[in-house]
Amino acid sequence: MSSTLRSRASSLVSLSLVLAGIAIAGSAPFVARAADTTASVGVGDTITLSGLTSSFKIDGGPSTTQTKTSAVSMNVKTNHASGYTVTVDPVGIAMIGGTTGNTDTIPVQDLKVKDSAGATYSALDPVTATQVKSQGSKSDASGDTITNDYQVDIPFVNGDTYSATLSYVAATQ
């Protein structure tokens, strides 16, 4: 082979190798897919009762019925899909007078409650909690504001301030 021909053949081989290198270097990389993973977030049910009115007073004379609207308010917040209930339960069987020596009492059944949006008062029961709210879905993200109206049938008792503790409970359904 002539030197010119050899030189051209060598140039062609070099050019072919260079082009092949560019083709190999420029092709997409090979990717090996090993496996997938799943990300999960576990969210538990929560419920809180906050902002409960600390006390209220209903004034009136003996042998009368007195009402106080929006006497108690609270906020219930839950993410439970089936909603919640709120109950109130008196601690004890009677409202006790605050004056030493006063033996008169007002039975807790004479104190009645209703959800402010409701129409019917229910007497408090010293044995069974009284339901004041039931909702079949989760609350708003900031919670639901609930208010209760109270009514009392004041018996013929000594003039005094009669008190009882009322325990509120919010529970998921």
pLDDT tens-digit readout, 85-103: 999 999 999 999 999 999 9
pLDDT tens-digit readout, 35-75: 889 999 999 999 999 999 999 999 999 999 999 999 999 99
pLDDT of residue 34: 82
- Residues belonging to the chain: 173
H/E stretch holding 24 reads helix 3-26
pLDDT of residue 17: 47
Distance of CA 128 to the CA centre of its chain: 24
What are the structural domains, with CATH classification, of the chain? 47-172 (2.60.40)
